[in-house]
Amino acid sequence: MEQRKKLEGNGMWESSRMMLPEHKHALNAWSLKSKERCRIELDDQELEIIGRRLTESHQLRTLVTVKMYHPTEELQIVGMVDRIDQRQGRFMVNGDWFMLRDIEGVVDVD
């Protein structure tokens, strides 16, 4: 009777007190993969608005909040755009370079 109970539902895992390192590694990798965010696709109009806001921040020295893609967390950059390098597809905020392709949105800071 006890043997049958172990085979029902999740009995094998619940009754086991050991886990192989390979299984632990696989479970950790699966957990990280399941928490990954998907990269959003921006249409031409959204890309134009983003480009305009970055250029205005650079020229007028206004603060913007840039929402960036990151696989596991929500990332926002707040500051003034110091430089825009179209050739290499990057922009600089507060002395740090970021990739243009990772931008998900830009809003003005009030």
Q: Please, which residues bridge with residue 108 across strands?
A: 64
Give me the mean pLDDT over the 31-60 stretch. Answer: 89
Query: What is the model's pLDDT at position 62?
Result: 94
Condensed to tens digits (0 to 9), the pLDDT of residues 55-110 reads 999 999 999 999 999 888 889 999 999 999 999 999 999 999 999 999 999 998 86
Cα separation, 61 vs 34, whole angstroms: 40
Q: Is the pLDDT of residue 13 over 60?
A: no
Count of beta carbons in the 10 Å neighbourhood of residue 33: 10
Q: pLDDT value at position 63?
A: 95
Q: What is the pLDDT of residue 33?
A: 73
pLDDT confidence tier of residue 22, bands split at 50, 70 and 90: confident
pLDDT, greater one: 33 or 10: 33
pTM: 0.65
Q: Does pLDDT of 9 surpass 80?
A: no
Confidence at residue 35, expressed as pLDDT on a 0 to 100 scale: 73
And the tokens for 32? 């990280």
The answer to whether the beta carbons of residues 67 and 104 sit under 8 Å apart is yes
